[in-house]
Structure 1
Amino acid sequence: MDSIQNDQKFLLKSTAFNLIGTCLKVVGPVLTIVVARVFGKEIFGIYVSTQLFILTLCRIAVLGLDKGLHRHLPQNKVHNRAPYEGIAESLWVTVSIALGFSLVIWIGSFFNLQRVSSGLAMLSSLEISLFAMSIIPYTMISLFAGASEGNRHPQYKIFINDFAITALAPVIALLLHYTGVTDKYALPIGFFISNMLGMSTYLVLMNKQFPTIQWFIRKKIPAELLNFSLPLGFSEVVAAFLIRVDLWMVLALIGPEAAGVYAVMVTISNGLKTIRQSYGPILQPVVAGMSTDRLDTDLKPVFSYCVSMTTLIQLGIGFFIVLFPEQTMMIAGKSFVSKENPAAVLGILIIGNLLDGFWGLSGSVINGLGKSKFMLMMNIVSLALSLLLNRICIPIFGIAGAAISTVAYQIMQCIWMNLYLKKMGYWPYRKDLWIQGIWIVSLITCDYVLNFVYDPPMVTKIIAAVIIAGLILLTFWKQGLAGQKYGKKSK
């Protein structure tokens, strides 16, 4: 059975993997830009659009079972079941659905039915068939990644899903391009080969993780796993709309130019969001692997460790963006810093993601406790609230209204999730997190002063950034986040 010491070691190791993975993720966008330049806008646009369509089908085919395995595999240990229960059963169901999607596309392409869709009409029968070949391997990759995370190996998804596949697809496509393969075929073939390599790698790793696993079985998916996974699958679909609805409504209500500016701000501020999201697959299996007795004693230090790490990393990024908003926005070009006070809007989004980083990890605890239906209900309500607030605020405040609406539903979610945890009898925040609270208030104050009170010279900002970075590192050290000291502190 896992102990608090093992949990602490796992969290520390996973944090290191997350930091490495964050650096490696830069490679994918760089290669994507190269692909766009080599293949041209039209072929690249078709590739990106069709790839997103294929990935959406894979997301449906997996039925949320990849996320469900985050909880089910640790629960196997708690209840003394076979450690691999649920993996093979889920695999054959998801592969069957993925095969069904592929067959429909292949048969439809034979009759040129892709012409019915304006988005797919530009594809030939061979092109759409080549894209469909990736549905099965990518669905398997998604399921294996979820199983690996549930088995406390998040590094496999970080290095395979987030880096290797993303980087290999454009590299293979470029190699095919320079060896004479027709451009419109090179991209889907590169995508397929990268997914096949990822799937093959995972098969080796899965057999290594579960040496006695039986792949060819006729058992049904355990009811506990299926009942937990389906709401998660639907919740992810709702969440996908939720994180995009503000941008879509800016586009619909005040036009594409404002949407372009706001899209850059969202992209930049989401650098903080990804930090919090990366801790979800790490924290949830740890919580799911705790017995009732351990939840009472070990949940608080484990959860508070994740909150501490998430918040401090976010603070480092957040302070840099708040101190140098114009320079950060310049990544997209000068036109994006000429609008009326975009720094203030960017600051609002950063503050929302920072609050979500501190309070929002409670969602991973709720999922770890098996309450996926609550998360689905909350996301549906959040989507409705976001639609209403965006419709009211955007016409009045412009893109600032979209940012305010986003922060409003984030705060609502944080309050609701933590009240729900409190009702269940858990309050997983340690008292020493007041230090992170002071840091958050300091960033909010800094953002307000820089936008509405005083804009210091660049030299002063640079000196302040160095001092702040040093103090954040000092906080990291004093709280013992680099080792076991944190887990032994008083609660």
Structure 2
Amino acid sequence: MSAKYHRITKQLGFSYFFMILTFLIGPFLIFLLTRTLSVKEFGIYSLLASTVAIFTVILDLGFHKYIVTKLSGLNYLKGIKHFFSLLTLELGFLVVLFVVLFLSPLYGWLLEFLKLSSYETEFQLCLTIIFLGVIFRFFVSYLKARKKIELQSFYSFFHTSFWVLILISFYLIKNQMSLLTVVSIWLVGVVITVLLLTFFSLRKEIIIFLFKIKKIDTSIMKKGLVFSLPLIPVFVASYIIEFADRYMLNSYMDAEKVGFYALSYSLVWVIISFSAVIHNVLYVHAANAWNQKKNHHTLFNAMFKYDLMFVLPAIVGLFVMREQVITLISGPNYLIGASTIGILILSPLFVSLATLFQNNLLLRSKTKTMAIIYIFGAVLNILLNMFLIPKYGIDGAAISTTISYFLMLFMSYVVSRKQILWNYGFLKIFRIIFASAFMGVIVYSINPQIYLTKIITIVVGVVVYVVLLFLFRVFSKKEYSIMNHFLPKFLKLK
């Protein structure tokens, strides 16, 4: 058991390492785009990026969840057969879909609906990114199911950040950049990532399938569809909640307002990355424990505790420094979004805790229940946006999003509350809240105004919070033991 937790800790460490690298690179992308593109062009980029995100998830038909949940702990050869059977079905679906799209009026209607007729070339490139993105999700889901979390974390980082490095290099050489350049370089980065993943990490599985297994299993396809199809409305609804406000802002107002909102939303949603890493690593182990009839409650307690431990201080820190962070990254022109951040700020907590309870539903194959929750959230979000955006603008969109996520958390909790055993002595919820609040007071009192002091204040906030966690004895003896395994002798914890 100790070796298992050491492995989980190591995987968390790798995941957070690549997440930190993403954080270091990600702000450069926002900085570069908001300072080289016009606010309208940044709004269009935001719409294109939203479209890619939405359709990449929807078009994988929910199979990535099936792969992670059902292939975890499965025999190696059976796992390969399952994977390639589902991949064959997915590729066939994508080819048919894209042929129909380009040979029918749907393509023109979609361009008109998204108000992207003036950006047709960029849109076509994004369709290719979507196709490759779906394949990429299949591949990294397989790595995750095989518990190759380190590799999965690396490729996920490479997928999101490599093209940004190319873009930065291009700008440093040319000192200019257009929206078409941004999307073209994005596509190049995705192509390189998929090729590297295929050749270096899935070559063995491809050879085994082609020369040993040699056939797909239609019964596996059927099982995958039964599990995954109810998840399609989940993903559709999820992205309606996340991105419909941008399309509706563009419809009711203009692309400039989308740009303001997109920046605020992106800054708040960085916090979700902390939670995503935790669920990314721990869920696959929880699924393995569930499939092998072992105790999975310990891992759900760990998800809950570490969600709070990482998400709460990030929420407090961004809230008290929201204006400083906006001017640090994008300049004073985007300060209109400070109030939007204040409204959205609790959404990452609602989402991370809702995901925790929904992971429990996934283990029990209650995907239809998840669909009901998400459809409710999406319908509510659209209705609220229709009333609030015309009256309150980007703040109205933020209110709609926050209310929708809170009610979805409540519904997820109600259907799962009796299925998870909580160990409150391990969770230490109030101590984490106090540590986050004290850190926030200290950061607020500093009130930095120039670039260097803003960065220093963020570092000070992190250090203060970590010290408070130890002073408040948030960690258990087992957690100290795991930490000591990775620390040099002179830093051993007692």
| Alignment TM class, shorter chain as reference | 0.7 to 0.9
Q: Percent of aligned pairs with the same residue?
A: 17
How much does 1:430 deviate?
Answer: 1.6
1:373-384 aligned within 5 A: 373-384=368-379
Contact 2:431 2:474 in 1 (8 A): no
Q: 2:224 corresponds to which letter in structure 1?
A: L
Cα deviation 1:441-479 (Å, max 9, x = unaligned): 6757998x99xxxx75649x9688754342135556556
Which residue in 2 is equivalent to 1:321?
318
Deviation at 1:228, TM superposition (A): 1.3
* 2:28 partner letter: V
Cα offsets for 1:38-67 (capped at 9, x unmatched): 899999988876676566554444222122
Following the alignment from structure 2 to structure 1, what is the Cα–Cα distance between the partners of residues 414 and 317? Answer: 32
- Offset of residue 334 of structure 1: 2.6
Deviation at 1:256, TM superposition (A): 7.2
| Closer/same/farther in 2, CA of residues 433 and 401 from structure 1, 3 Å limit | farther
Checking the alignment, whether the CA contact within 8 Å between 2:435 and 2:468 is kept in structure 1 is: no
CA offsets 1:306-356 (integer angstroms, 9 cap, x no match): 2222221223322322332331232333354478xx46x634533342354
Which of 49, 73, 82 aligns to 2:78? It is 82
| Structure with greater helix percent | 2
Match in the other structure for 2:197: 202
- Please give the secondary structure, in 2, of the residue aligned with 1:381: helix
Matched residues in 1 for 2:343 and 2:165: separation? 35
Where 1:289 maps in the other structure, the secondary structure is: helix
User: Would you say 1:15 and 2:12 are equivalent positions?
Assistant: yes
SS at match of 2:80: coil
Q: Name 1:489's counterpart in structure 2.
A: none
User: Aligned-pair distance for 1:29?
Assistant: 5.5
Which residue of the partner structure matches residue 402 of structure 2?
407
2:80 maps to 1:96: no
Q: Does the CA contact (< 8 Å) of 2:72 and 2:145 recur in 1?
A: yes
Distance 1:65 1:249 in 2: 29
Q: Is the contact made by 1:105 and 1:132 (CA closer than 8 Å) also made in structure 2?
A: no
Q: If the length of structure 1 is used for normalisation, what is the TM-score? A: 0.75
Q: Distance in 2 between matches of 1:442 and 1:177?
A: 42
2:425 corresponds in structure 1 to: 432
Which of 417, 422, 431 is the matching residue for 1:422? Answer: 417
Match of 1:150 among 126, 145, 148: 145
Alignment of 1:361-372 (within 5 A): 361-372=356-367
Supply the distance in 1 between the matched residues of 2:123 and 2:189 (Cα, whole angstroms). 17
Give the stretch that moved more between structures: 393-402 or 65-74: 393-402
Separation of aligned partners in 2, 1:422 and 1:146: 28
Alpha-carbon distance in 1 for matches of 2:178, 2:335? 36
Deviation of 1:418 after TM superposition, in Å, equals 2.5
Distance 1:439 1:90, change over 3 A: same
Whether contact under 8 Å (1:24, 1:163) holds in the other structure is no
Coordinate RMSD, CA, aligned:
4.7
Q: How many angstroms apart in 1 are the aligned matches of 2:336 and 2:463?
A: 27
CA-to-aligned-CA distance 1:153-205 (integer Å, 9 cap, x gap): 233343223334642377289779989xx999876764554334322322231
Which residue of structure 1 aligns with residue 492 of structure 2? none
Instruction: Report the residue type matching 1:411 in the other structure.
Output: F
Deviation at 1:240, TM superposition (A): 0.5
Unaligned runs of 5+ in 2: 449-453, 485-494
Query: Which residue number corresponds to residue 157 of structure 2?
Result: 162
1:375 and 1:466 map into 2 onto residues whose CA distance is 38
Relative distance call for 1:435 and 1:88 in structure 2 (3 A) is same
Q: Separation in 1 of the partners of 2:123 and 2:335?
A: 40
Match of 1:69 among 61, 67, 90: 67
How far residue 24 of structure 1 moved from its aligned partner, in angstroms, is 2.3
User: Quick one: distance in 2 between partners of 1:325 and 1:38?
Assistant: 22
**2-structure distance, mates of 1:408, 1:414:** 10
Aligned to 2:487: none
CA apart distance, 1:432? 2.4
Give yes or no for contact 2:56–2:130 (8 Å, CA) kept in 1.
yes
SS at match of 1:82: helix
Aligned match of 2:282? 283
Distance, in Å, in 1 between the alignment partners of 2:167 and 2:396 is: 43
When residues 363 and 52 of structure 1 are mapped into structure 2, their CA distance, relative to the original with a 3 A threshold, is closer
Q: CA deviation at 1:422?
A: 3.3
The equivalences for 1:181-330 within 5 A come to: 190-203=185-198, 204-208=200-204, 212-214=208-210, 216-220=214-218, 221-246=220-245, 261-291=260-290, 294-295=293-294, 298-330=295-327
Q: Classify the secondary structure of the residue corresponding to 1:17.
A: helix
8 Å contact from structure 1 (residues 386, 409) kept in 2: yes
Inter-CA distance 73–198: structure 2 relative to 1 (3 Å threshold):
same
Contact 2:144 2:284 in 1 (8 A): yes
